Amino acid sequence: MRSRHCRTLLVVATAAALAAPSEALARSGHHGATDWVATFHDPGAPGFSNEHLDCTNSGAAACGFAFDGTTVETGYLSGSTTYHGILYAGDAVERTFRWKVTETFTGRIAGCGRGTVTWTGSGYGDATAFDLESQGARMWGSLTIAPGSGTRDLRDVTGSLALEARAHGVPPGAQDGTMTGPLTCHPGDD
């Protein structure tokens, strides 16, 4: 039972880093910044691989649960993300778990173009507020584009995103959520 609970929380944390925004939002101009909203879905444990304990973080009081997975984005962000995440015990009553993730998005960002870009993220979740009706718990954090990580049209994308998600108990680790915040792209620059 504990393994299932850890998997669910871990998947939720990782999926938060993957998102797909609404096509109705305005696109940025050349060199412009765009505030955007992206929605995402992570299928959870059925899509996990490389699950193991990770005891390499010297700042953590205990080992974390590491995993790899994928998400699919649609809308303003259109493509897929692969990620490596780690789930740790939390540090407060309303922050029952902590998560860290590194994700690589492959696809299209409206107003920027196509390519790949990597972001890193971290945040918290609150399993004490697990809602029995929706079988979900709140998760939140932030994601930051890794400088110089983009390829093709996305080579100069920069920015940070706020993450809000709901981790689901069935299937374990499944999650849905949004990412919001300004991204800046420089399409056509050499």
Enumerate domains of the chain plus CATH numbers: 2-22+33-184 (2.40.350.10)
Q: Is the dihedral of CA 117, 118, 122, 124 positive or negative?
A: positive
Q: How confident is the model at residue 171, as a pLDDT?
A: 75
More confident residue, 65 or 27: 65
Residue 73 pLDDT more than 50? yes
Residue 101's pLDDT is 93
- Is the pTM here over 0.85, yes or no? no
Q: In the prediction, which pLDDT does 27 show? A: 34
Q: What sign for the dihedral angle of Cα 112, 117, 120, 125? A: positive
**Nearest CA among 42, 82, 20, 2 for reference residue 174:** 42
CB 176 within 8 A of CB 168: yes
pLDDT tens digits, residue range 76-135? 778 899 999 988 888 887 888 889 999 999 998 888 899 999 999 999 988 887 777 777
